[in-house]
């Protein structure tokens, strides 16, 4: 396999520290640890010290000035875990403090995406002139999800002397907050209470519980000290320290390894027993064992997932970083999904949004179907909470998924841009249908997928109403959160139509296959209900403006006052941080793609000319304040053959975190944008579409590229797509023959028999 270049930052910039903590975090879908300085950050250097378990949360009350019926009373938020990052180094009587004193001679951070670890190397001269090189290698194990490993190396460059290392595990931790930014928690709170401190012979155990949700966390630590160094443990009120001391001679290196096992009560019946057992098991093996397993798992990942773009190394680095981050962020059990910031920070408080199904899910569906199925299993697991939410919102039937959630209940206290986003049900249903089209996994649909489809369809049927011969859905919010509580949002209605029709078809498909028993038992859906689904879908109202020749975003959007975005000062973006919501709601201004997104997902609802006019109209009034927006505009620009514009949007999306374009990557990476970057290439430039009728491609090639390629799975076959100036080639690497369409022309590929067609022109 081609070597994947590591992500490397050199030189220390204090203003960039918190950003680098996000970029160089280590995670494995269960556990994430920010890349914070082991010695701590001094005053004036931004740092957000944190570690997180996916879906491990605490609750806190939501305070309202005026609380009305059905408003959520509590909110869930991801918990900052026991701090296991701290290591203090003493050279004789001098504390190693490269960010606070002495002189930094060299500073380098590296994320090795083939080996799966982050490295921080600092060469430092102390105030007394001692020079030392400290290298710290971190890994969140992909083979053992509970395991985090920190390997700390010290090399004496110009001195010999006594060295002391103090490694600390601190249970007294708080969550980060910024009261001026709605994208993070507004109040810093402590969510963990230490219940037990237990020093072990060469490590320790800290047991904590969340204050409100009463979840248990056990953190077990084991040390392998440097050869010849003494080791002793000290237990304190809320912490455990491992002390190591010995001689270090000029030119010599010493190293110690810290194995940390995290176990939580949402996955483990006995977190303490699990943590201690796993610690014993992991410390019995050499570090190399986990490094080899890490490389092997990543080799498999890259083989099935990597996009390559010829002729643009900087863009390739961004693509590699995005896909690697997605793989390290995705939940691998039905308890968890993918937080908006992955496991790299506390932005959006660890909540799951509809972003997962629309922007992230397609990547896993086409590269790692097992992980995609896990994301859908999570949605099925929280279906009871979605039913409860629907009842709270006044619906007698169906399931209404929460806009922001961890364990199922709604976590947003601002319903106009929260619970009112009924389109989320359509987004989730779309993912289930896409899964079936791509995998033909009828058993999964029988036991989980069809139940979700039926309950979401029921919700749309109950939320809508008939007006004449059209079915309409009022008082909802679409993806554009600058237009709230509108009637007949085009995106929502299009998703509802797809859900209603898809649910009816899926139940009938299961009945024909003799597999409808589970969904009939779970839902009691009747033939008359299925007919009602189909009738509402067939008569769904999709707003259209005859004068402009475009689909209206909703019934009222085109009647609002127009806003010239060029008159707004750059420092006033994003608008949500500088303007009252009502001011935004009164103008034709979009936070992100809405109708344009609908034209991508449900492209058969509009002809080419309508799409083009809609694209141009909404582009002029979209701020892209949401990181989800530019990738969609890239996809549709490619769809409309404006390849230069598609490439510009694509670059903005692909480099968002590495360039910190939105100024908030310090709070965590943007996982949905990373998924959207994959979509912008595969669905945009390559024209990949997954429909009931099968798989299709319509590839284009930007003029500045010599080519691109990507692997994908289709049912039981592994495919590889290569696009160059000579055309598009699709080959089957393994599995059954595959029928697909390239530029509308049906072709069949099988092992040893690829298909090659010229690119689409015009």
Band (311; pLDDT cuts 50, 70, 90): confident
The tens digit of pLDDT for each residue in 661-694 reads: 989 999 999 999 999 999 999 999 999 999 999 9
The tens digit of pLDDT for each residue in 416-427 reads: 999 999 999 999
For residue 1, is pLDDT > 70?
A: no
For residue 95, is pLDDT > 80?
A: yes
Q: What is the pLDDT, as a whole number, of residue 188?
A: 62
Largest CA-CA distance found in the chain, in angstroms, rounded: 89
**Domains of the chain and CATH, by start:** 7-60+74-271+293-300 (2.70.98.40)
Say which residue the tokens 């248990």 belong to. Answer: 216
Question: How far, CA to CA in Å, does 482 sit from each of 340, 418, 524?
Answer: 19, 12, 39
Given a contact cutoff of 8 angstroms between Cβ atoms, the answer to whether 103 and 117 are in contact is no
Separation CA 86–CA 239 (nearest Å): 11
DSSP per-residue string spanning 62-110: PP-SS--TT---EEEEEPPP-EEEEEEEEETTEE--TTTSSEEEEEEEE
- Helices vs strands, H then E, count in the chain: 20, 34
The tens digit of pLDDT for each residue in 483-508 reads: 999 999 999 999 999 999 999 999 99
Given a contact cutoff of 8 angstroms between Cβ atoms, the answer to whether 50 and 40 are in contact is no
Say which residue the tokens 């009728």 belong to. Answer: 693
Separation CA 116–CA 26 (nearest Å): 8
Q: What is the mean pLDDT of residues 186-207?
A: 91
For residue 134, is pLDDT > 80?
A: yes
Separation CA 278–CA 284 (nearest Å): 10
Higher pLDDT, 178 or 569: 569
Band (3; pLDDT cuts 50, 70, 90): confident
For residue 245, is pLDDT > 80?
A: yes
Task: Quote the DSSP letter at residue 556.
Answer: S
243 preceded by a cis bond (ω within 30 of 0): no
For residue 182, is pLDDT > 80?
A: no
Band (191; pLDDT cuts 50, 70, 90): very high
The tens digit of pLDDT for each residue in 633-670 reads: 999 999 999 999 999 999 999 999 999 998 999 999 99
Residues acting as catalytic residues? 481
Closest to 6 (Cα-Cα) out of 103, 98, 96, 110: 110
For residue 762, is pLDDT > 70?
A: no
For residue 378, is pLDDT > 90?
A: yes
Separation CA 148–CA 145 (nearest Å): 8
C-alpha triplet 559, 564, 567: angle, nearest 5°: 150
Rg (CA), the chain: 27
Segment holding 120, helix H or strand E: strand 117-125
Q: Give the pTM.
A: 0.96
For residue 186, is pLDDT > 80?
A: no
The tens digit of pLDDT for each residue in 615-628 reads: 999 999 999 999 99
Q: What is the pLDDT, as a whole number, of residue 181?
A: 66
Given a contact cutoff of 8 angstroms between Cβ atoms, the answer to whether 669 and 23 are in contact is yes
Closest to 195 (Cα-Cα) out of 226, 237, 167, 165: 237
Separation CA 706–CA 693 (nearest Å): 32
Helix axes 383-392, 450-463, angle to 10 degrees: 10
Given a contact cutoff of 8 angstroms between Cβ atoms, the answer to whether 356 and 363 are in contact is no
Beta bridge partners of 256: 152
For residue 203, is pLDDT > 90?
A: yes
Separation CA 33–CA 663 (nearest Å): 21
Q: What is the pLDDT, as a whole number, of residue 178?
A: 76
Per-residue tokens: 120 = 């921080």
Helix axes 629-639, 608-619, angle to 10 degrees: 140
pLDDT mean across residues, the chain? 96
Band (184; pLDDT cuts 50, 70, 90): low
């Amino acid at each position: 396999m081609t070597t994947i270049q590591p992500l490397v930052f050199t030189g220390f910039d204090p203003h960039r520290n918190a950003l680098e903590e996000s970029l160089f975090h280590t995670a494995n879908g269960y556990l994430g640890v920010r890349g914070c300085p082991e010695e701590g950050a001094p005053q004036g250097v931004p740092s957000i010290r944190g570690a997180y378990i996916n879906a491990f949360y605490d609750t806190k009350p939501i305070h309202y000035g005026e609380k009305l019926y059905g408003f959520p009373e509590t909110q869930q938020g991801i918990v900052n875990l026991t701090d296991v990052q701290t290591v203090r180094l003493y050279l004789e009587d001098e504390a190693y403090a490269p960010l606070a004193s002495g002189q930094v001679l060299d500073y380098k951070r590296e994320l090795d995406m083939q080996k799966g670890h982050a490295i921080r190397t600092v060469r430092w001269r102390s105030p007394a002139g001692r020079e030392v090189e400290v290298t710290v290698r971190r890994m969140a194990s992909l083979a053992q999800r509970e395991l985090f490993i920190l390997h700390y190396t010290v090399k004496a460059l110009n001195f010999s002397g006594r060295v002391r290392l103090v490694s600390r595990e601190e249970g007294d931790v708080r969550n980060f907050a910024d009261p001026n930014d709605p994208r993070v928690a507004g109040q810093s709170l402590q969510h963990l209470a230490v219940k037990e401190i237990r020093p072990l012979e060469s490590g320790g155990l800290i047991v904590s519980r969340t204050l409100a949700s009463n979840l248990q966390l056990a953190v077990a630590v084991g040390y392998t000290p440097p050869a010849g160094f003494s080791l002793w443990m000290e237990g304190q009120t809320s912490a455990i320290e491992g002390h190591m001391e010995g001689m270090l001679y000029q030119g010599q290196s010493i190293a110690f390894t810290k194995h940390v096992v995290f176990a939580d009560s949402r996955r483990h019946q006995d977190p303490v027993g699990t943590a201690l057992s796993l610690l014993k098991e992991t410390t019995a093996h050499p570090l190399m064992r986990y490094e080899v397993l890490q490389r092997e798992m990543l080799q498999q990942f890259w083989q099935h997932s990597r996009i390559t773009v010829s002729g643009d190394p900087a863009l390739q680095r961004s693509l590699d970083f995005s896909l690697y981050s997605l793989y390290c962020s995705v939940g691998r059990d039905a308890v968890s999904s993918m937080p908006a910031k992955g496991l790299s920070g506390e932005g959006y408080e660890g909540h799951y949004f509809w972003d997962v199904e629309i922007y992230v899910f397609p990547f896993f569906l086409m590269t790692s179907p097992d992980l995609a199925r896990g994301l859908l299993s999570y949605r099925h697991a929280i279906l009871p909470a979605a039913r409860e939410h629907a009842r709270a919102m006044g619906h007698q039937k169906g399931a209404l998924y929460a806009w922001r959630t961890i364990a199922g209940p709604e976590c947003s206290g601002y319903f106009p841009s929260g619970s009112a986003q009924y389109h989320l049900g359509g987004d989730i249903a779309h993912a289930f249908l896409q899964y079936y089209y791509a995998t033909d996994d009828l058993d999964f649909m029988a036991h989980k997928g069809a139940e979700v489809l039926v309950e979401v369809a029921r919700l749309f049927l109950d939320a809508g109403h008939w007006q004449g011969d059209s079915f309409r859905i009022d008082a909802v919010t679409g993806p554009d959160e600058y237009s709230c509580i509108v009637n007949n949002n085009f995106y929502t209605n299009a998703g509802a139509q797809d859900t209603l029709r898809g649910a009816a078809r899926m139940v009938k498909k299961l009945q024909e296959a003799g597999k409808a028993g589970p969904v009939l038992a779970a839902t009691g859906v009747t033939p008359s209900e299925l007919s009602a689904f189909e009738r509402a879908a067939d008569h769904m109202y999709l707003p259209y403006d005859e004068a402009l020749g475009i689909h209206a975003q909703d019934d009222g959007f085109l009647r609002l006052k127009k806003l010239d975005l060029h008159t707004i000062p750059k420092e006033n973006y994003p608008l949500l941080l500088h303007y009252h919501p009502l001011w935004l709601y009164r103008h034709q201004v979009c936070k992100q793609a809405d109708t344009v997104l609908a034209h991508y997902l449900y492209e058969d609802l509009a002809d080419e000319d309508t799409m083009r006019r809609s694209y141009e109209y909404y582009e002029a009034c979209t701020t892209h304040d949401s990181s989800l927006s530019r990738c969609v505009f890239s996809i549709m620009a490619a769809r409309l053959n404006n390849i230069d514009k598609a490439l510009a949007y694509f670059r903005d999306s692909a480099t968002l975190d590495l360039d910190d374009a939105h100024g908030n990557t310090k709070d965590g990476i943007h996982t949905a944008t990373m998924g959207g970057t994959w979509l912008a290439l595969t669905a945009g430039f390559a024209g990949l579409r997954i429909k009931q009728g099968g798989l299709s491609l319509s590839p284009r090639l930007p003029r500045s590229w010599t080519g691109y390629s990507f692997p994908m799975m289709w049912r039981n076959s592994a495919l590889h797509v290569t696009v160059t100036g000579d055309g598009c080639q699709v080959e089957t690497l393994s599995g059954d023959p595959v029928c697909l369409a390239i530029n509308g022309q049906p072709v069949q590929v099988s092992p040893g028999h690829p298909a090659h067609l010229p690119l689409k022109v015009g």
